[in-house]
Amino acid sequence: MTYGEYLQLDQILSAQVRLSDHHDEMLFIIIHQVSELWMKLILHELHSASAAIEKEDLPTAFKQLARVSKIQSQIIQAWDVLSTLTPSEYMEFRDKLGQASGFQSYQYRLIEFALGYKTPHVLKIYEKDEELHARLAKAYREPGLYDISIRALAKAGLAIHPGVLNRDYTKPYQQDGSVQAAWLEVYRNTGQYWNLYQLGEKLVDIEDWLQQWRFRHMKTVERIIGFKQGTGGSSGVNYLKKVLDQRFFPELWDLRTEI
């Protein structure tokens, strides 16, 4: 077996099909394809980390969650490359994209689901593809990484309200006082709860990097198209600014004020 055969390079390197003759469309395609590959690895690691936490194998989860954070840093840097595309250059081929939009990235939606952020309207975007819709619907019903981490708090003997442990996972997570108290106990007694303390910090790392990715996404879009509507019909920059207010692990951020 050769290097190219092992990596299926013929298939990968022939997947950059430009719809225009513009030089910079190649940049646009490759940046998004590479980001999707990184997102595939993020999902691979998040699912394995969640399974490890369920089995109370927290050290393994730490390694995988740390890898997720490193991958996120790579995706953030990709925006620096894309931002070399100027508005004039992008407008030369933007009309060739039709209704295609990053808003439709199903892997990004799966990452949101894995982190516990779920909204029903997202599933409607993928109704045309039955297989993909079924995959998303399954992930939509499953507990997120934070739900599994809260279970770990309960397994360690910390008091968690039953309504949180048995909640409807298709709903966005709502901040809870018992979870706040449990994390505060962990952070005030790090020696006793060292692994849970480490878990909390790994979760904060992931949300921190995700919000940095979202910010760089928003600023890159603003730099290239200003406040124009997105190609898929989204409100573009205004939508991207709005999602910056979303929180995934609220108690882990709020305890920093209380501790």
73 CB-side CA count, 13 A: 6
Query: How far apart, in Å, do the first and last CA atoms of the chain sit?
Result: 56
Alpha carbons 251 and 176: distance in angstroms, whole number: 8
Q: Measuring CA to CA, how many Å separate 130 from each of 53, 108, 127, 235?
A: 31, 18, 6, 27
* Tokens describing residue 89: 């250059």
Q: Could you tell me if 90 and 224 are in contact, meaning their C-beta atoms sit under 8 angstroms apart?
A: yes
Give the residue ranges of the annotated binding site for heme. Answer: 217
Helix H or strand E encompassing 17: none
Give the residue ranges of the annotated binding site. Answer: 28-32, 90, 94, 217, 231
* Tokens describing residue 205: 């790392």
Alpha carbons 17 and 188: distance in angstroms, whole number: 55
Residues 6+ apart with CB under 8 A from 124: none
Q: Could you tell me if 169 and 215 are in contact, meaning their C-beta atoms sit under 8 angstroms apart?
A: no
Give the residue ranges of the annotated binding site for substrate. Answer: 28-32, 90, 94, 231
